[in-house]
Chain A
């Protein structure tokens, strides 16, 4: 199918983007990489009046390190972040998770912040951001605010972004040197939506596990101490708490089983 008619705008700077958002609000959509939005436009799941293209805006294409966090701008393409030589040092979890985001052909166009904006419950980037305790930088004509990942993603495809706000960047805390990370997911075909995705970290304050694809948003649990013989029980409890859902690809029971098996795998990996 083809998109419904819209007006296409390519602003020269962020101020113009914010003006358009203030003027048109919910009638507008930001177009960054388009790897989800273009498909939704083609299927007419969304029919904005104004499309605001930021994909070529150099001012939003930054990867920078400041005060112990890494900041990734709204126009940064997934493949470019993956190719960034310092990624392993500043965001080791992202380095592990990015190869699971879509396919090489969509990573060549899709943006990191676009994944966050779309907030699919099974998507990898929101899961990583939630596990790492990252923040989303939201900017409107009159305001600039940071929202914690846990408060940003409210539910399936639903976020705390206001209609006049632009996701300008995301911020990820740079981990302590001793921290360890692991990422795993199960999908029907590599690159498809995850049935279940898990990410784990082991830092001085304990073990964290993030689970995507089971609840309506990524869920993170933290254990200060998790003895090896208690992992199974902890994961079983978590699996039942999250519940899961049945769809054409997998039953809720299978999703819970994946939480137990790949959840254990990543926890053991970071504890090793």
Chain B
């Protein structure tokens, strides 16, 4: 049985954006704080710390989840993707570029979480319907944009993906 006391300093090693990283956590440290303060990856944001706002959303073993509702010590050995893993050496990826083009962000506080959810949605289904997009988006709060730009950004990729599929079939 694993047992970590309240005062223990626990070594946690996990894979973040395909790189093995190690940090130290107390038993009660949230994964969101571990990612930000221990690993120094501050792209993952913290808003509410009770699972409501979605700002802290990351992918664990390929699934989007709230990093504020998980303990750092539970992440030992897991595969994590954060927003830092999306761009290629500073070049925005397609989804990020679409967010930029469609004004899908203003302050950007909610954006990293939304990007992680939408990345997963498009990975599982490159051509989601509008309802599927808004259903996933309902797990996030954005105080700036009114959401329209976010939906448009994802829709623009869906159209591109449909065109690609048609091109391949032609």
Q: Which A positions have Cβ atoms within 8 angstroms of B?
A: 1-12, 16, 34-35, 38-39, 41-43, 51, 53, 55-56, 79, 103-106, 108-109, 189-191
Contacts and interface: CB of A to CB of B under 8 A. Distances in A.
Contact of A8 (B3, B57, B117): B3
Contact of B66 (A8, A106, A189, A190): A106
Contacts of A104: 64, 117, 135-136, 139
B51 A191 contact: no
A5 B27 contact: yes
A103 to B, nearest CB: 3
Interface residues of B, number: 32
A157 B87 CA distance: 44
Nearest to B50: A39
A10 B1 contact: yes
B4 A7 contact: yes
A53 to B, nearest CB: 7
B138 A42 contact: no
A56 B2 CA distance: 12
A16 B74 CA distance: 18
A61 B42 CA distance: 34
Interface string B58-77: 00000111101111011000
B70 A103 contact: no
B69 A1 contact: no
Residue picked from A3, A6, A11, A103, most chain B C-beta under 10 Å: A103
A10 B33 CA distance: 21
Interface string B36-51: 0000000000000111
B51 A38 contact: yes
A94 B135 CA distance: 19
Given A39-B69, A105-B54, A5 B28 contact: yes
B30 interface: yes
B90 interface: no
* Max chain B Cβ within 10 angstroms of own Cβ: one of A2, A5, A16, A105: A105
A10 B2 contact: yes
Given A103-B138, A109-B70, A39 B51 contact: yes
Contact of B65 (A5, A51, A56, A109): A109
Nearest to A11: B1
B167 interface: no
